């Protein structure tokens, strides 16, 4: 069965430090992977996607994600965290049977000044 997992409910990082939000997936074919961010009381916003090509994908707000096929991971990273990055982050993978997105449970990112 196709699935996506975000193993951390919450990640705490000091401002200025690098951050990583983890995501692992399980799909039968080539994965279509996405990261979205949700600020409090707002809708989700697209950050980046991996479909094919370079394993390092760059996205909005200085975020990037590294696709690792052998580890079936797609971790979200940023070299230097900002307090304004504090939000809920969702990883998603496309279900090849119906093309719908399967969503992770979300990871709350807290950046402390």
Partner 1 sequence: DTAVSQTPKYLVTQMGNDKSIKCEQNLGHDTMYWYKQDSKKFLKIMFSYNNKELIINETVPNRFSPKSPDKAHLNLHINSLELGDSAVYFCASSRGHANTGELFFGEGSRLTVL
Applying CB under 8 A, the residues found at the interface with partner 1 are 32, 36, 38, 41-46, 49, 51, 88, 90, 94, 98-101, 103, 105-106
Closest contact distance (angstroms) between CB of 4 and partner 1 is: 11
Nearer to partner 1, 17 or 100 (CB): 100
Eight-class DSSP state of 72 = T
Say if CB 32 and CB 49 are below 8 A apart: yes
Could you give the CA distance from residue 75 to residue 89 in angstroms, rounded to a whole number?
A: 11
Closest contact distance (angstroms) between CB of 101 and partner 1 is: 6
Nearer to partner 1, 7 or 18 (CB): 7
SS3 call for 60: helix
Nearer to partner 1, 22 or 103 (CB): 103
Pick from 30, 25, 32: nearest CA to 7: 25
Closest contact distance (angstroms) between CB of 94 and partner 1 is: 5
Nearer to partner 1, 78 or 94 (CB): 94
Closest contact distance (angstroms) between CB of 93 and partner 1 is: 10
Could you give the CA distance from residue 72 to residue 56 in angstroms, rounded to a whole number?
A: 14
Could you give the CA distance from residue 63 to residue 53 in angstroms, rounded to a whole number?
A: 17
């Amino acid at each position: 069965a196709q699935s996506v997992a975000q193993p951390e409910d919450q990640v705490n990082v000091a401002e200025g430090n690098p951050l990583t939000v983890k995501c692992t997936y399980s799909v039968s074919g080539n994965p279509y992977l996405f990261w979205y961010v949700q600020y409090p009381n707002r809708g989700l916003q697209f950050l980046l996607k991996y479909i094919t090509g370079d394993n390092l994908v760059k996205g909005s707000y200085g975020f990037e994600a590294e696709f690792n096929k052998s580890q079936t991971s797609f971790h979200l990273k940023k070299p230097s965290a900002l307090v304004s990055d504090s939000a809920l982050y969702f990883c998603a993978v496309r279900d090849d049977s119906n093309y719908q997105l399967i969503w992770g449970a979300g990871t709350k990112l807290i950046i402390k000044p």
